[in-house]
């Protein structure tokens, strides 16, 4: 049996209707921005394997750090114990995160990072004997697939089977250009009519919605409104963190600081699943008490896994090298050039760039759904040409590993241009 045949016998894939889906491609190795399948066909990974891999596949520097840690201390429980890799990650984050962030909580993936933040927001007010149970989120947000994260997510077909079983979430419009005031007004109205505990948002870029972008000034204003009403703010930087927007964090563009930040995806350079939620001292202090019931009773078996921490430290080291910062700038310039070239095309509605993120919306005759026919046609075209891109409806985005060469980037752009002609 081939790998693909064995796969269909045993495996259940994410976001997949197995009855109608095409068989998955079996990838056997990766290097830099390239992947090879079992038949040795080459692919350019133009979405950094779901946004996790900034430094390239099979990165030796991170692999060496992981090996060294694996053969020193692979894991130890974090309840009642601690270790140097976790402390070093926390110290490092204190240097690079917005300065109000003081406490670091480990978990395993983006959804759990969000789950922790939402539970903390709710319990923060419980501990203070204040009844605040509503979470505010953006329309078309994506915060993950565990229950509270799913409740905060607004992409409806992901969540429709569970309607009525969620925590209380109220949605406000995204302050995209020209619609900022509607977003501010909606936030004020929600805060007035509900007992709001927290506001969770993807700062500056909504990834899963199709790289929808909005300005730092608008986000600063929303955070100010929350702060004035003692509503806790949660920046979900799971996608945007570690250089994607051109700065280390999207919040580095914003004049206001959030109460909590969620990190995962590129945290370990795409090697080991790990996530972090960070907090202000003020949030932590609401749980600091002689009363054990005020503690945060949340944890995961692999919390602060030392091997994951070693991978995170190596990744942050790589991110901070001048070479990697130059790569981010190089890709940004390249995207801006391509944006200028493509945005005038008659079949293009709009194109946008922030950092290493580029997105183009293609004109479609029908209302294009998330997994609609244009999306499938585009996806197959790209795969056929050896480029991994996952369009969101009629939106094609590129989020390459930072080490992608100019030649590879130009190839990705050329194939997108071809695709626009084709559909
Ligand atoms: C991917 C993502 C998540 C969920 O992360 P998982 O590791 O898939 O659970 C949460 N928030 C944002 C903004 C994301 O992009």
Sorted by where each starts, the structural domains of the chain and their CATH numbers stand as 3-58+324-422 (3.90.1150.10), 64-319 (3.40.640.10)
Question: Predicted confidence band at 188 (pLDDT cuts at 50, 70, 90)?
Answer: very high
Q: Is the pLDDT of residue 370 over 70?
A: no
Q: Is the pLDDT of residue 352 over 80?
A: yes
- 3-class DSSP state for residue 5? helix
Rounded to the nearest integer, the mean pLDDT of the chain is: 96
**104-153 pLDDT tens trace:** 999 999 999 999 999 999 999 999 999 999 999 999 999 999 999 999 99
pLDDT for residue 368:
61
- What is the C-alpha separation between 334 and 410, in angstroms, rounded? 9
Nearest residue (by CA) to ligand 1, atom 15, is 239
Alpha helix (H) residue ranges in 321-405? 322-342, 373-384
Question: Predicted confidence band at 373 (pLDDT cuts at 50, 70, 90)?
Answer: confident
Q: Give the strand pairing for 27-31 and 42-45.
A: unpaired
Counting ligand 1 atoms within 8 A of each CB, the residue from 238, 240, 251 with the most, and so the one to mutate, is 238
pLDDT for residue 369:
63
Q: Within a 13 Å sphere around the CA of 357, how many CA atoms are in the beta-carbon half?
A: 24
**75-97 pLDDT tens trace:** 999 999 999 999 999 999 999 99
Residue with tokens 């004997």: 129
- What is the C-alpha separation between 222 and 34, in angstroms, rounded? 40
For ligand 1, say whether the CB of 240 is within 6 Å of any of its atoms: no
With a pLDDT cut of 90, the percent of the chain lying above it is 94
Q: What's the gap in Å between 108 CA and the centre of ligand 1? A: 11
Atom of ligand 1 nearest to the CA of 240: 13
Q: What is the mean pLDDT of residues 349-378?
A: 87
- Name 148's Cβ contacts closer than 8 Å, sequence gap at least 6: 114, 115, 118, 119, 135, 167
Counting ligand 1 atoms within 8 A of each CB, the residue from 239, 240, 241 with the most, and so the one to mutate, is 239
- What is the C-alpha separation between 307 and 407, in angstroms, rounded? 34
- What is the C-alpha separation between 102 and 314, in angstroms, rounded? 22
DSSP conformation class of 12: -
For ligand 1, say whether the CB of 153 is within 6 Å of any of its atoms: no
Query: Model pTM?
Result: 0.97
Atom of ligand 1 nearest to the CA of 50: 1
Question: Predicted confidence band at 327 (pLDDT cuts at 50, 70, 90)?
Answer: very high
Instruction: Name the token pair of 238.
Output: 């799971």
pLDDT for residue 269:
98
- What is the C-alpha separation between 62 and 49, in angstroms, rounded? 17
**144-184 pLDDT tens trace:** 999 999 999 997 777 888 989 999 999 999 999 999 999 99
DSSP conformation class of 23: P
For ligand 1, say whether the CB of 113 is within 6 Å of any of its atoms: no
């Amino acid at each position: 049996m081939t790998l693909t045949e064995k796969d269909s016998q045993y495996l259940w894939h994410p976001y997949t209707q197995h009855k109608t889906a095409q068989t998955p491609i079996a990838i056997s190795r990766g290097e830099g921005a390239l992947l090879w399948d079992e038949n040795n066909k080459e692919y350019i990974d133009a979405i950094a394997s779901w946004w996790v891999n900034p430094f390239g596949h099979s990165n030796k520097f991170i692999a060496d750090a992981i090996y060294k840690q694996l053969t020193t201390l692979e894991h130890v429980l974090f309840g009642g114990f601690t270790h140097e890799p976790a402390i070093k990650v926390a110290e490092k984050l204190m240097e690079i995160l917005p300065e109000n962030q003081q406490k670091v909580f480990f978990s395993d993936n983006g959804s759990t990072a969000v789950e922790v933040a939402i539970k903390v927001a709710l319990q923060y007010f419980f501990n203070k004997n204040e009844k605040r149970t509503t979470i505010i989120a953006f329309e078309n947000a994506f915060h993950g697939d565990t229950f509270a994260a799913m409740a905060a997510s607004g992409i409806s077909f992901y969540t429709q089977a569970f309607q009525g079983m969620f925590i209380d979430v109220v949605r406000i419009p995204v302050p995209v250009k020209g619609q900022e005031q509607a977003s501010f007004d909606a936030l004020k109205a929600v805060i007035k009519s509900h007992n709001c505990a927290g506001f969770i948002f993807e700062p500056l870029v909504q990834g899963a919605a199709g790289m929808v972008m909005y300005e730092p000034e608008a986000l600063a204003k929303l955070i100010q409104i929350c702060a004035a009403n003692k509503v806790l703010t949660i920046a979900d930087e799971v996608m945007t963190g570690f250089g994607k927007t051109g700065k280390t964090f999207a919040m580095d563009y914003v004049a206001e600081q959030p109460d909590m930040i969620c990190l995962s995806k590129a945290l370990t350079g795409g090697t080991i699943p790990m996530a972090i939620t960070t907090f202000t001292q003020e949030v932590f202090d609401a749980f600091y008490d002689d009363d054990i019931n005020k503690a945060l009773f949340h944890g995961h078996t692999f919390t602060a896994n030392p091997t994951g921490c070693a991978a995170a430290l190596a990744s942050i080291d790589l991110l901070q090298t001048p070479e990697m910062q130059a790569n981010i700038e190089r890709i940004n310039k390249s995207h801006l050039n391509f944006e200028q070239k493509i945005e005038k095309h008659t079949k293009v509605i709009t194109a946008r760039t922030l950092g290493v993120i580029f997105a183009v919306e293609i004109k479609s005759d029908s209302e294009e759904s998330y997994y609609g026919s244009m999306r499938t046609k585009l996806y197959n075209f790209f795969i056929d040409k050896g480029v991994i891109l996952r369009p969101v409806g009629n939106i094609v985005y590129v989020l390459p590993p930072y080490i992608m060469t100019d030649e590879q980037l130009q190839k990705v752009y050329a194939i997108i241009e071809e695709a626009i002609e084709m559909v």
